[in-house]
């Protein structure tokens, strides 16, 4: 489950790491009066790239604040409308770094990943520094980071960050923790300017206190063969199993099992596609939806939106049947997709 920035920052703060003073408001709520300007207004949506899309605004007065809150409240980012905004005391930025912790499954380890030029252009950077972090090597990691960032005087501070991030990561059953930017202020402090965290849904039973704004997707996803060529998405475990079997019987190697449960929202479809995108050999995705109470046209809308956002998806082979299937099919056709009448013709099309 992906946390929003303010939720992730609360966990950082609990771990003893520096974040800016801020407050949360719900969209539509009355504005709090700010103790000082400038402040930064930040849309709380579970995706990155908000800065470039107008979701992060620096304001210098009460009047600018009112306007920014109004704009950002109404701004949907990558399909997400914010329910919450974070208003933070702005930082005087000297430099921005990139720092993250990720699970390295191949080595059964946690890696720390860093780059001296963080911020909004980090995707285009090369040469990321990667090293394992263990909870007993923070001193060495701190020295490496200090050298990488050109902050030789701050090796001790960076070691403290590495240690606390490691503790925060493991204690919270995290699979990804990304600070971008890690800000060096003009006063020489290090502050987490932004934070993304993904927690392991499977560990939720250990954390009765996990109460977050975006609930976990009720997907059940299993990789069956990481070299499989045909991926599947279906609703309901029975239909999902039958779809996997049908793919296998048609002579393909099924890559995964995925039951999207009773809902196909933009978020669940995007999540499904993102998971499948991790499978390197998939050339076709079979989407098999049976609408009972659930409406096929909602699935169609979610497929269209997710496909627009993720243009490099493998070819989709879609079969929708049941509640509002006709509307769904018409909708998909207007977006250049040609759904199939049944699963058999869907699978036949892959072959050809």
Residue 71-90 contact track with ligand GDP, rule CB under 6 A, x = bound:
-----------------x-x
Please list every residue from 145 through 184 that binds ligand GDP, using CB under 6 A: 180-181
Q: Which of 194, 259, 297, 301 touches Mn ion (CB under 5 A)?
A: 194
Handedness of CA 16, 116, 85, 64 (dihedral sign): positive
Binding mask 4-43 for ligand GDP (x = CB under 6 A): ----------------x-------------------x-x-
Q: What is the number of the residue whose Cβ is closest to Mn ion?
A: 194
Rounded to a whole number of angstroms, the minimum distance from the CB of residue 78 to ligand GDP is: 10
89-128 footprint of ligand GDP as x/- string (CB under 6 A): -xx-x--x----------------------xx--------
177 CB-contact burial (10 Å; exposed 0-12 / middle 13-18 / buried 19+): buried
Hey, what are 84's tokens?
């919450």
Residues 163-192 interacting with Mn ion (rule: CB under 5 A): 180
Nearer to ligand GDP, 177 or 318 (CB): 177
Catalytic residue among 6, 80, 98, 166: 98
Active-site residue (options: 7, 88, 178, 301): 178
330 contacts which partner out of ligand GDP, Mn ion, none, CB within 5 to 8 A by kind?
A: none
Dist CA 293 CA 296 (whole Å): 9
Residue 58 interacts with which of ligand GDP, Mn ion, none, CB < 5 to 8 Å by class: ligand GDP
Under rule CB under 6 A, how many of the chain's residues touch ligand GDP? 20
Catalytic status, residue 98? yes
Identify each DSSP E strand in 186-323 by its residue range.
Answer: 190-192, 195-199, 220-223, 230-234, 256-259, 284-291, 315-322
Q: What are the counts of helices (DSSP H) followed by strands (DSSP E) for the chain?
A: 9, 15
Give me the least distance between CB of 44 and Mn ion, in Å please.
Answer: 13
Q: Give yes or no for a contact between 271 and 217, defined as CB atoms under 8 angstroms apart.
A: yes
DSSP sequence for 117-150: S-STTGGG----EEEEE-SS-HHHHHHHHHHHHT
Smaller CB distance to Mn ion: residue 180 or 235? 180
Task: Give the span between the Cα atoms of 140 and 92, in whole angstroms.
Answer: 29
What tokens does 115 get? 């780059």
Are residues 214 and 199 in contact, defined by beta-carbon separation less than 8 angstroms? no
In angstroms, the CA 248 to CA 329 distance is 26
Per-residue exposure over 294-329, b if at least 16 CB sit within 10 Å of its own CB, e if not? bbbbbbbbbbbbbbebeeebbebbbbbbebbbebbb
Q: Is 147 a catalytic residue?
A: no
From residue 306 to residue 335, what is the string marking binding to ligand GDP with x (rule CB under 6 A)? ------------------------------
88 interacts with Mn ion by CB under 5 A: no
Cβ neighbours around 185 below 10 Å, total: 16
Binding site for Mn ion (CB under 5 A): 180, 194
**Catalytic residue numbers, as ranges:** 98, 178
Residues that bind ligand GDP in the complex, under the rule CB under 6 A: 20, 40, 42, 48-51, 56, 58, 88, 90-91, 93, 96, 119-120, 180-181, 193-194
């Amino acid at each position: 489950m992906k946390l929003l920035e303010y939720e992730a920052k609360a966990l950082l703060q609990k771990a003893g790491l520096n974040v800016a003073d801020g407050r949360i408001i719900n969209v539509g709520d009355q504005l709090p009066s700010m103790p000082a300007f400038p402040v930064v207004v930040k849309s709380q949506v579970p995706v990155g790239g908000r800065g470039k899309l107008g979701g992060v605004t620096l304001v210098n007065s009460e009047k600018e604040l009112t306007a920014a809150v109004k704009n950002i409240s109404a701004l949907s980012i990558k399909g997400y409308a914010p329910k919450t905004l974070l208003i933070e005391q702005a930082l005087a930025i000297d430099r921005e770094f990139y720092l993250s912790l990720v699970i390295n499954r191949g080595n059964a380890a946690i890696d720390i990943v860093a780059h001296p030029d963080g911020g909004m252009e980090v995707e285009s950077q090369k040469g990321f520094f990667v090293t394992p972090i263990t909870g007993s090597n923070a001193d060495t990691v701190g020295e490496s980071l200090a050298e990488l960032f050109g902050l030789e005087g701050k090796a001790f501070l960076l070691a403290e960050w590495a240690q606390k991030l490691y503790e925060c990561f493991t204690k919270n059953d995290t699979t990804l923790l990304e600070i971008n930017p890690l800000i060096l202020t003009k006063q020489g402090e290090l502050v987490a300017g932004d934070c993304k965290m993904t927690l392991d849904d499977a560990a939720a039973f250990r954390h009765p206190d996990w109460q977050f704004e975006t609930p976990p997707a009720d997907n059940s996803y299993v990789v069956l063969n990481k070299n499989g060529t045909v991926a599947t998405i279906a609703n309901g475990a029975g239909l999902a199993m039958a779809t996997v079997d049908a793919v296998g019987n048609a002579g393909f190697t099924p890559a995964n099992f995925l039951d999207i449960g009773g809902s196909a929202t933009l978020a669940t479809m995007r999540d499904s596609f993102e998971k499948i995108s991790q499978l390197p050999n998939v050339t076709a995705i079979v989407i098999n939806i049976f609408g009972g109470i659930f409406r096929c046209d909602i699935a169609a809308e979610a497929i269209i939106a997710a496909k627009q956002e993720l243009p490099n998806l493998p070819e989709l082979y879609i079969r929708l049947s049941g509640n509002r299937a006709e509307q769904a099919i018409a909708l998909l056709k207007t977006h250049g997709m040609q759904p199939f009448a049944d699963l058999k013709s869907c699978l036949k099309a892959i072959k050809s």
